[in-house]
Amino acid sequence: MNRRRGTAKQRRWVLSATLIVVVALLIVVVRLVEDIGPERHPGDRFLVAKILDGDTVELAGGDRLRLLAIDTPEEGERYHDEAAELLKRLVLGRTATIEFADKRRDRYGRLLGYLYIDSAFINRTLIDSGLAYVYLFKDNDLDSPQIAALLDAQKGAIDRDVGLWSIEREPEDYYLSPPGSFRLHRPGCRSVENCDNGRCREFLTREEGLATGLSPCRNCKP
């Protein structure tokens, strides 16, 4: 009889302990979901709550979105404020759609995507205004229709000599890009110190390199 009472008491203790663990896990999961927010899908609608700089916004709920395949000037550089102001006018407080590429988030946890307000392609608008560069990482990026649209917009901005393209820069006799890289460098840049024996692609003009999808090195600023 005592053995049965002991067994029943052990069972109640095990059940109670299990229930406590389950409840604790549920609390942790709920808090994590609140902190991170549910992963959303292409076609979902997002409210733009805050502008962080010319190519990054914060969405309602706390997620940050880095506009994919473009790069705007850093704080303190020319046209930084203009890029951020244009993005603010275009998207702040508005409901947007995001198209994601293969990689949905970067190493900082930010979403990566193409931002649309109604039918307006915001990444392209920034490029077309001369306030951003096309900024790529992989060869297969060049196969996407969005990148084709961005490169076409950049060519138009170069031809019109607007924004970033109106800045006078000391020209070089040629420019270099290492194998597998999407950055364009001046020949004296430390990033191309090992570009000997014809290893690097060579371009006669800055515009020739940029037309292939390269973007200016942030250090040597060609």
Contact by Cβ (8 Å): 98, 46:
yes
Full DSSP string of 79-130: THHHHHHHHHHHHTT-EEEEEEEEEEE-TTS-EEEEEEETTEEHHHHHHHTT
Question: Of the residues 104, 105, 110, 201, which is catalytic?
Answer: 110
Per the annotation, the verdict on 124 as an active-site residue is no
N-terminal to C-terminal alpha carbon distance within the chain: 89
Pairing of strands 111-117, 64-67: parallel
Question: Of the residues 34, 74, 193, 202, which is catalytic?
Answer: 74
What is the three-state SS of 15-68?
A: HHHHHHHHHHHHHHHHHHHHHHCCCCCCCCEEEEEEEEECCEEEECCCCEEEEC
Residue listed under structure tokens 């920034």: 126
Pairing of strands 133-134, 215-216: unpaired
Per the annotation, the verdict on 66 as an active-site residue is yes
Per the annotation, the verdict on 193 as an active-site residue is no
Q: Return the half-sphere exposure (C-beta side, CA atoms, 13 A cut-off) of residue 185.
A: 19
H or E, element range at 203: strand 201-203
Catalytic positions:
66, 74, 110
